[in-house]
Amino acid sequence: MAVPAPYHLALSAFLFTLGMVGVLVRRSILIVFMSIELMLNAVNLTLVTFARARGSLDGQLFVFFILVVAAVEVVIGLAIIVDLFRSRQTVDIDEVDLLRG
């Protein structure tokens, strides 16, 4: 028994909303970073759902490329976060705007 596409889309919308709330509300760079990844995975779920509904592999191919880009983003983003923590001893977003100059 297959799960209908609207359930997948509702789950994707919920995950995207949860990620958006995390980005807007939280002050920790790590939580914001994880929320952005959650939003990316929600979009991936939507693409796979529509690809399955249409019977094509285009959406799954896009998801593969998005996952590759997200993996590179994680490596670079975490390196930046670790460097910020080493220099500032905090991962608070309000401290990041002091990098000017």
Q: What domains can be seen in the chain, in order of their start residue?
A: 5-99 (1.10.287.3510)
Mean pLDDT is lowest, of 3-12, 34-43, 55-64, for: 55-64
For 69, half-sphere exposure in the C-beta direction (CA atoms, 13 angstrom radius) is: 9
Distance between CA atoms of 21 and 71, rounded to whole angstroms?
Answer: 22
Q: pTM to 2 decimals? A: 0.84
Contact criterion met (CB below 8 Å) for 78 and 48: no
Q: What is the pLDDT of residues 41-60, one digit of tens each?
A: 999 999 999 999 998 888 88
Beta bridge partners of 28: 92
Q: What is the pLDDT of residues 57-71, one digit of tens each?
A: 888 899 999 999 999
